[in-house]
Amino acid sequence: MELLKKKIVEEGRVLPGDILKVDNFLNHQVDVRFMEAVGAEFARRFEGVEVNKILTIETSGIAVASIVSKYFGYCPVVFAKKMDSLNLDKEIYCSEAFSFTKNRNYRIMVSKRYLSADDKVLIIDDFLANGKAVLALKDVVEQSGAELEGVGIVIEKGFMPGGQELRKSGVQVESLAVVKAMDDEGNIEFE
Ligand code: 5GP
């Protein structure tokens, strides 16, 4: 998606540790008009795929997924929670992932009330790096008996193994920009 690549080059910053900071339009401040273009592009790429639920992970996935929902018939968006919360249902699907940005393991939880065998799920997230977040979401979908219809990612770091691993497992993964290489001087190359 050319507009996304342009925004990454003009507004993104490369931080030490292979982190791409795009928090002025995606991860902190959200450019809603631009996210609508992201939603329309996912709809184009997943045309003909039946989706009745979008699954994401808190926190950064929520804004993207909520806007993307508009392009999939305003289907409900379920976000996996990362922290134990007193008001979370007792009946939950649970999985574990390793956080690339925080360098530690974390648990994700989804209430059994919001995901079941009748669901056709599109997973949406802001970034794909090692793939651990998406694999944990995929695990939750499998536990629920729902169908995983695809994975939509705004920015994939193609030099990290997550995308390849997921595609190898047969999942349709659509990334709107795939970063091939980036360096501390801020040079960013796309696939
Ligand atoms: P993975 O689980 O694929 O290794 O990492 C994906 C998760 O880590 C995403 O949910 C995203 O929030 C975060 N993440 C990974 N790489 C980056 C990055 O370069 N920049 C930002 N802002 N988040 C990232």
Torsion of CA 66, 166, 133, 18, to 10 degrees: -100
- For atom 23 of ligand 1, which residue has the closest CA? 127
185 C-alpha to center of ligand 1: Å?
Answer: 20
pLDDT tens digits for range 42-62: 999 999 999 999 999 999 999
Q: Are 130 and 97 in contact (CB under 8 A)?
A: no
Residue 3, amino acid: L
Q: How high is the pLDDT of residue 34?
A: 97
Which residues, other chains included, contact 25 with Cβ-Cβ below 8 Å and sequence gap of 6+? Answer: 7, 11, 31, 34
Q: Per residue in 135-172, pLDDT tens?
A: 999 999 999 999 999 999 999 999 999 999 999 999 99
Cross-strand bridge partners of residue 93: 110
pLDDT of res. 85: 62
pLDDT of residue 86: 61
For residue 118, pLDDT over 80 is answered with yes
Work out which ligand 1 atom sits closest to the CA atom of 20: 19
Mean pLDDT of 12-30: 95
pTM of the model: 0.96
Asked whether 125 lines ligand 1 (CB < 6 A), one says yes
**pLDDT at site 169:** 95
Quick check: 139 and 146 in contact, CB under 8 A?
no
